[in-house]
Amino acid sequence: MTDLDLERPAGGASGEPTPRRDPTPAAAAAIAPPGTDAAVRRERRSGGRMSRGRVLAWGALSLLGIVFVYPFLWLVSASFKPRTQVFDNRLIPETFTLDNYVQVWQQAPLGLWLLNTLIVTALAAVTVTLSSAMVAWGFAYFRFRGRSALFGLVLATMMLPGAVTMIPVFLIWNGLGQVGTLTPLWAGNLFGSAFYIFLLRQFFLGLPRDLFEAARIDGASQWSVFWRIALPLSRPALAVTLVFEVQAVWTDLMRALIYLRDADTFTVPRGLKSLVDAFGFGGEWHWEIIVTASVITTVPMIIVFFVAQRQIIDGVASTGLKG
């Protein structure tokens, strides 16, 4: 091949150069280097589409947020209204009053109910978290015959409706002489919960097993491996379990109706039920007292979720990824 052949342009058989085709405007904009007019126009068009999509998404989320928040806003607004204006459906009270918050503490031992609920909630949440974590650690770390079948049996207990075990459990607590006390509301959590066992087991399975084996080689006991290594690494999942149980116990009315007899032992849900019976269906119709008590007992749950929202998100996300 000569130098002339190297300099000859590519073309057809006649040696004529292939005619050059100009790119279309869309293709030119797609391959245009940054900073040129075509690139700027492309970025503006894509930015406009993204902005419209973002506006639609935020609009939909805002609408859903209003739908979910409106009942609570109505409840708060009604708590500042007099008796005759509770159901006027105005978010801004026509007549603003604080008398409801004074009367609710006079009409019912709300402080004692809150204290009882706080005690039951703390004991139930701590016991179910620790007991479920220990059972979940056994299913995740230890290898033994029948482990899968036993774990399946634990999960099968979630299929049983609560009404099936309600009477046998009541007979047990009645035989122990604990009916009328706060014990039945939390002591059952000493044996763990199938849902929390499954949740924590999935998280434990995602932890590196070599870390625990190294600790065993260094002389750590099984309890030390669980308490000093596994639990600290599982704080997100433990936080989710704790918060879920706090919410469940704080709003539990069924067990309080079954086991509590005296008003001095009432929890918040049971106390609200007694207020509804006294002021809602007893002929007096003091709904302003009921909605005010509802606001006071709902605020602690809002604070808990506001403080622990990051732990809840991290725990659920990490458990889902590692499961």
Would you list the DSSP string of 222-275? Answer: HHHIIIIIIHHHTHHHHHHHHHHHHHHHHT--HHHHHH--SGGG--HHHHHHHH
Task: Extract the residue ranges of the chain whose pLDDT is less than 70.
Answer: 1-50, 280-284, 315-323
Model pLDDT, residue 106: 87
> Going by C-beta distance under 8 Å and a sequence separation of 6 or more, which residues neighbour residue 322?
202, 203, 205, 206, 207
Measured distance CA(2)–CA(6) in Å, rounded = 7
Strand partners, 17: 11
Phi, psi for residue 108 in degrees, rounded to 5: -150, 150
DSSP letter assigned to residue 212: H
Which of 243, 204, 249 is CA-nearest to residue 225? 204
- Tens of pLDDT, residue by residue over 38-56, are 555 555 555 555 688 888 8
> Is residue 272 within 8 Å of 293, Cβ to Cβ?
yes
What DSSP line would sit under 8-65, residue for residue?
SPPBSTT-PBPPPPPPPHHHHHHHPPTTSHHHHHHHHHHHHHHHHHHHHHHHHHHHHH
Helix or strand run (H / E) with residue 147: helix 147-156
